[in-house]
Chains A and B, each alone.
Chain A
Amino acid sequence: MTKPVPYKRERPEGHPPYLYAPYVSTIKRAPKRALIRLDHTLSEVTGPGFASGWAGPDKADLTRQYAGEAIGARIILAGRVLDEDGRPVPSTLLEIWQANAAGRYIDKADQHNAPLDPNFSGAGQLITNERGEFRFLTIKPGPYPWRNTYNAWRAAHIHFSVFGPAFATRLVTQMYFPGDPLLPLDPIFNSTADAEARNRLVSAYDPNLSEAEYALGYVFDIVLRGRAATPMEA
């Protein structure tokens, strides 16, 4: 049995804290006791693999899941999943979910008074290719109000779930759009102290990715934890 190779520790300023009072829901849900530091064992450096296809078929086109086409501005959302050392993360499951163009989720719990689109679920998934690349076709989501504080609005965003190679690399995040005036006011976006880490959550408009007469292109790369240096590599 070879020894498990651990992953790098996360930089505290590179992620949000559990307790972040401007996001009111954290107040009753953040643990009070300090976390117990766990050196990675075999249980943390392994994790579910998706290359065999057991997670089901890719659903990379969110605009044509029903009889009609979804309403809204079509966007191509493409990027790579990498680790901190720039290595691609192939064959991992990416799931996305989002509100429709009017800022309404299909979720039953969303009671925002904006129209549902019968031709848009807002859910997609795919397995990254051997270069860690992904490409979705979807609709630009609308911003929507939430009850965090009076007259608060979430910046337009798309939720991303990604596994990576190990239990330790599991990440759920949100992707934002450049130039959104709600970004400086959004406490979820601003919960990460480090500006560079925050800005990585903002996709980039890429005219070369756009398709003429059809869809706008946005690039979003996702960077997962890399491996800690090992004596072999030193």
Chain B
Amino acid sequence: MTLIATASQTIGPFFHFGLGHPEWTDLTAAGPTGARIHIEGQVLDGDRAPLDDALIEIWQANAAGKYDHPEDSQDKPVDPKFHGFGRCGTDASGWFRFTTIKPGRVPGPGNTLQAPHIDVSVFARGLLKRLVTRIYFADEAANDADPILSRIQDPNVRQTLLAVPTGERGPVITYRFDIILQGEGETAFFEI
């Protein structure tokens, strides 16, 4: 049996009350193991205008590099205090901000290991289907050997996937990750 898949449709401008869960911006509320980080950025359109009606979702492994999911068969511990999913709507200036932990490395194609990364979905008015990208960490040595990053030839494109430490002082590193939907500096988006 093959059924026709349901088509994607835009999230529209009026989703905040329906997809609320403001508590889902903080993935560390239950006290998981791992280094706390903030990830913040602006979502911008082809005119560099900020989107005040975008929704960002993230999905990541725990600090040991294990997903809280039955199909992750690695012999690593699940962290009962970390499920790895986050959601944040952009504010009036197009900003989103997550508090999470830095993910560990997970397996890639073949016998490779992927560099620490976070899967990202972008929803917004004007996006008839989500855009998918990944957050990598600019200060991570493992990036050079990452099987996904290393397939992107153009360094300017590759760079759009790197969250950059802002240098803000404090016990928690803040990373900046802007999402540019179109034009100069356009974020690398994946077809998955």
**Chain A residues proximal to chain B, CB less than 8 Å:** 1-2, 4-5, 10-11, 14-18, 20, 23, 25-33, 35-49, 54-56, 82-86, 95-99, 105-107, 109-110, 121-123, 159, 161, 166-168, 170-174, 188-189, 191-192, 194, 196-198, 200-201, 222-226
Verify if B69 is at the interface (C-beta below 8 Å from A): yes
Closest to B148 in A: A38
Q: Is the interface of A mostly helix, strand, loop or mixed?
A: loop
> Which single member of B14, B187, B189 contacts A105 (CB below 8 Å)?
B14
> Which single member of A23, A43, A122, A191 contacts B117 (CB below 8 Å)?
A43
Q: Which 9 A-B pairs have the closest CB atoms?
A: A97-B18, A25-B126, A16-B128, A48-B85, A46-B69, A29-B126, A107-B14, A35-B191, A174-B9
Known contacts: A15-B8, A97-B18, A122-B18. The answer to whether A170 contacts B57 by CB under 8 A is yes
Give the segment of B93-101, B169-177, B178-186 that binds chain A: B178-186
Which B residues lie within 8 Å of A174 (CB)? Answer: 9-10, 12
Verify if B139 is at the interface (C-beta below 8 Å from A): no
Verify if B71 is at the interface (C-beta below 8 Å from A): yes
Give CA–CA (A4, B109) in the complex, Å. Answer: 9
CB under 8 Å from chain A, chain B span 111-158: 114, 117, 119, 121, 123-132, 134, 148, 151-152, 157
Q: Once the chains bind, are A223 and B131 in contact (CB under 8 Å)?
A: no
Q: Once the chains bind, are A122 and B7 in contact (CB under 8 Å)?
A: no
Q: Once the chains bind, are B182 and A30 in contact (CB under 8 Å)?
A: yes
Closest to B121 in A: A170
> Which single member of A2, A37, A109, A224 contacts B5 (CB below 8 Å)?
A224
Most buried by A among B17, B106, B108: B17
Which A residues lie within 8 Å of B117 (CB)? Answer: 43
Known contacts: A23-B128, A85-B1. The answer to whether A42 contacts B7 by CB under 8 A is no
Q: Once the chains bind, are A200 and B126 in contact (CB under 8 Å)?
A: no
Q: Once the chains bind, are B119 and A188 in contact (CB under 8 Å)?
A: no
Which B residues lie within 8 Å of A32 (CB)? Answer: 46, 182-183, 186
Which B residues lie within 8 Å of A45 (CB)? Answer: 71
Known contacts: A29-B126, A33-B157, A33-B186. The answer to whether A109 contacts B14 by CB under 8 A is yes
Q: Once the chains bind, are A96 and B18 in contact (CB under 8 Å)?
A: yes
Most buried by B among A35, A40, A44, A201: A35
Which B residues lie within 8 Å of A23 (CB)? Answer: 10, 126, 128
Give CA–CA (A18, B47) in the complex, Å. Answer: 17
